[in-house]
Structure 1
């Protein structure tokens, strides 16, 4: 047994007489004064398993009861490869052992539903790619460029040809686990999507009672893996057979059956989920409104991930034909203010192998530049948070009369804007600014391309200033020791950032 690594007990027992998904097998693991209660699962061929994710070092005693009665003890030692689960710390993420984690994800919805040769090609691509999170589905996907049938399905069918959630297809779950483990050992988190509407097999029409069985079996079987996140759905609001109360109930199913409380969120099509709910750990967003990142960061006080901000590609759909530069641009817009983004690629191919659904080989130009951004962000002293650059303190207007004891008229004007007016201003003039304490300031100009621009730094400290070209992947020192308002000469092109790092006095 090793801390933060899945520990498994296996037993032989009787063939279940009723549900094979909700069998009567539970275990208690005790270390010192702490006790964890977990449910086991049936894995076919009279084989029962209990999985546990040790949270602390020390001697554990365990006792299994139900269809199997056993007990024993294990010594839990330090892991040499696992940092534990990714958790929320403030508005950012960290591994359980305190190691920094910044999500740089990609999307391969039907990853595990492809032929083995294509899955192998995908993993070979991922080994060279910068991504440390993959969004993928438990259920297969039916949609444009997704017309193939998988080798396995999550459940067997009953005598009437209906999916039987009480009879899992063990070959499918073992296949899924193999891919989750392989990703995890590469340092890639599985952001597992439990439900979606892109379906021709009937999984989208499971009843709430069937969903309860499916979710509990999933938790029993997979929750002990450290490198898993739960996404209740992809585009939850497109599952029109479910009301909002159903999603709250599914949320409850997950939290009550996951003893380790993995990260949990819900992905939107159009209607953003209520991320203020206590069980929701982070904001999972489909939108390209990157200018709202700081607003959501402050509103929800949780990490913000633009898990779908369109895909680099050239297919018909508007969400799948942005340029490589625009993909990189959106990543920088998010990261500059302390949020995060997720990649996807949809270049047309006659064989219908598009990365966003099936994986294979990446063809775009954004991954290399996302890798540059990832290295840049990990190289900073700590995670960024939104920064309101003090731009309007120097505003000068002949009609502005300053009255002692009152806010300047321009500030009053800004504070009087309606939400619509404020939104219009942000769309028009957004630059993306973040900071870490008074040590780091980052300003990303995005689609603006000034020849001369300023960054307004604290006057009490000195800073080294670098210019970053996000497409050419270059960093150039432009000032060695400056403070206050600093005028900079820039190249007059899109995709330029300015980084100010505090230096000794």
Structure 2
């Protein structure tokens, strides 16, 4: 046991009589707040700052007094680390004797699955480790395998280039050890996995990838009919990234019980030494369907909204879970990794835990998929060597903040939670479509990328942000329009440019410039075409999704008439890069 501290769960403090009386004696109004109703899971000091005020001296008094009180909250028993067994098979078993199936017709940037038929006694999930080293000339990739139930051991490879890749296995099971083979990989048309590319993203073949995603945290934990509705809804949009979790979610508007889980379940108990392979096979089919739609699956490994115990499994089980998931899914070309949604609400993990988990993902993902972590309040320091990009929750001064974050970390910035378009009774979930669209434009003009979410309520608490289903909002079409505007840039991307005090500029210097007025509504604007450039000039209405081109080519200083309404922009395109 330990004493209460600033990161203790306020629900645990309220539930313990002596600790609750400390708060009652110093700041009784805290107990009247909905944030302290005993069902929340928030860090004590942060919530006291919200309920009272960060500058209230009583916060320090409460923390000091609670620091002398032992926290008697019952803690779940966490699993122990289990080491693969080097004597899993006896010396009488011939090394490398297990039958192996090597696929034919493999193409570059498409997952190839090598299947080995092996032993299944004991618990192969923990007793057996199998890896393979793939070599092509001087190139070498070490790929972890996984147990897939029955007699199946699988090694999945995402070939980055064509050629005859030689492989050799290593395993604690003698029959799976020292198996050799050749995987012949031909050319193909797949673009491959997405990677961070400077301040932006690109597919393996170099094609720019501009993430314009949406959110449906628990859509794969719903009934099959709703999952199909979700895919159908996504197919009608231009969204190309989806934030989603492996664990189910327990939160407002999302309290149903899933049919299956990452771990097998008997009654109320989960066996965290094994994995439910049927769950993963169904989940993988959804990943394939997203890939067919051109959608990246941004997979959230941990989150705090939990009633099953997945948020506090302990280090050994966390590591076993992460290793299995990454080994199993890393060869899907459309996968991203998010260590956590709102990491700072996972109160049993500290910075060291997240650094360990981030390194573990990197170790088990030889294909280098994007990897980040997402905050509630405390933004992560993305200088962490395992982080490929920033994944941030923030809703104010977005353009300026994105520019600042880019300078700070020199990595791509994705505002994965900027607020949701909807009508629920929560401030984060009742933005107008105009506000959601404007936030996307603000982030894009800062050189970053935003992620959409929709929280319109429907009977049965069916909200897309939580459960998927149907999209009903007005912002997705406008986000698609913004995508098309960015795609017309010579580079297919936007860079922040020197701006005016009342309008932001972005584009490609000297070739393609957007001037965005946000909520302002000027009736005209005087602009300067760069010296020596003759350009097309367009007036863009982000809400109406119209582009009106001024007649002729323009140079020098000109006046541009505008519609005197919000969300308009001027686009300047050098004639040498325009389609006349």
Output the TM-score relative to the length of structure 1: 0.89
Matches of 1:46 and 1:431 in 2, distance apart? 63
Alignment match, 2:452:
343
- Residue in structure 2 matching 1:245, options 342, 346, 352: 352
Q: Does 1:376 align with 2:448?
A: no
- Residue in structure 1 matching 2:414, options 291, 300, 305: 305
Alignment match, 1:461:
533
Distance 1:47 1:19, change over 3 A: closer
1:457 is displaced (CA, Å) by 3.7
Matches of 1:182 and 1:470 in 2, distance apart? 31
- SS of match in other structure, 2:451: strand
Matches of 2:262 and 2:126 in 1, distance apart? 11
- Residue in structure 1 matching 2:304, options 179, 197, 201: 197
Alignment match, 1:322:
431
Alignment match, 1:143:
251
Distance 1:123 1:450, change over 3 A: same
CA contact (8 A) 1:443 1:455 kept: no
1:163 is displaced (CA, Å) by 2.9
Matches of 1:430 and 1:276 in 2, distance apart? 32
1:30 is displaced (CA, Å) by 1.5
Distance 1:158 1:355, change over 3 A: closer
Matches of 2:461 and 2:540 in 1, distance apart? 37
Matches of 1:162 and 1:248 in 2, distance apart? 29
- SS of match in other structure, 1:500: strand
- SS of match in other structure, 1:178: helix
Distance 1:430 1:109, change over 3 A: farther
1:198 is displaced (CA, Å) by 0.5
Matches of 2:284 and 2:566 in 1, distance apart? 43
CA RMSD of aligned residues (A): 1.7
- Cα deviation digits, residues 254-289 of structure 1 (max 9, x gap): 112211121111111101011122221111111113
Alignment match, 2:69:
none
Matches of 1:430 and 1:341 in 2, distance apart? 22
Matches of 2:246 and 2:180 in 1, distance apart? 33
Distance 1:275 1:454, change over 3 A: farther
Q: How does 1:239-318 map to 2 (within 5 A)?
A: 239-289=346-396, 290-291=398-399, 292-318=401-427
Q: Does 1:385 align with 2:509?
A: no
Q: Does 1:219 align with 2:326?
A: yes
CA contact (8 A) 2:148 2:154 kept: yes
Matches of 1:167 and 1:258 in 2, distance apart? 21
Alignment match, 1:433:
505
- SS of match in other structure, 1:262: coil
Distance 1:16 1:439, change over 3 A: farther
Alignment match, 1:446:
518
Matches of 2:450 and 2:557 in 1, distance apart? 30
Distance 1:16 1:497, change over 3 A: farther
Deviates more, 1:190-199 or 1:295-304: 295-304
- SS of match in other structure, 1:119: helix
Deviates more, 1:52-61 or 1:65-74: 65-74
Alignment match, 1:77:
186
1:32 is displaced (CA, Å) by 1.7
1:344 is displaced (CA, Å) by 0.5
Q: How does 1:470-489 map to 2 (within 5 A)?
A: 470-478=542-550, 480-489=552-561
- Cα deviation digits, residues 79-126 of structure 1 (max 9, x gap): 23x211111111111101011210010000002101100000111111
Q: Does 1:9 align with 2:114?
A: yes
Matches of 1:497 and 1:254 in 2, distance apart? 42
Distance 1:500 1:430, change over 3 A: same
- SS of match in other structure, 2:306: coil
Matches of 2:196 and 2:576 in 1, distance apart? 32
Matches of 1:500 and 1:199 in 2, distance apart? 50
- Residue in structure 2 matching 1:131, options 224, 232, 239: 239
Q: Which runs of 4+ in 1 moved over 4 A?
A: none
Matches of 1:362 and 1:78 in 2, distance apart? 38
CA contact (8 A) 1:264 1:280 kept: yes
Matches of 1:21 and 1:122 in 2, distance apart? 35
Deviates more, 1:346-355 or 1:192-201: 346-355
Q: How does 1:482-497 map to 2 (within 5 A)?
A: 482-497=554-569
Alignment match, 2:103:
none
- Cα deviation digits, residues 453-477 of structure 1 (max 9, x gap): 2334422322211000011110001
Alignment match, 1:230:
337
- Cα deviation digits, residues 162-205 of structure 1 (max 9, x gap): 43332001111111111111101211000000000001111011
Q: Does 1:500 align with 2:572?
A: yes
1:504 is displaced (CA, Å) by 4.4
Matches of 1:310 and 1:22 in 2, distance apart? 45
CA contact (8 A) 1:190 1:228 kept: yes
1:448 is displaced (CA, Å) by 0.8
Q: How does 1:31-50 map to 2 (within 5 A)?
A: 31-50=136-155
1:431 is displaced (CA, Å) by 2.6
Output the TM-score relative to the length of structure 2: 0.78
- SS of match in other structure, 1:480: coil
Alignment match, 2:169:
64
Deviates more, 1:12-21 or 1:54-63: 12-21
Alignment match, 1:401:
none
Deviates more, 1:5-14 or 1:478-487: 478-487
- SS of match in other structure, 1:295: helix
Whichever of the two has the greater Rg, that structure is 2
Distance 1:155 1:462, change over 3 A: same
1:28 is displaced (CA, Å) by 1.7
- Residue in structure 2 matching 1:181, options 288, 313, 328: 288
1:480 is displaced (CA, Å) by 3.3
CA contact (8 A) 1:136 1:193 kept: yes
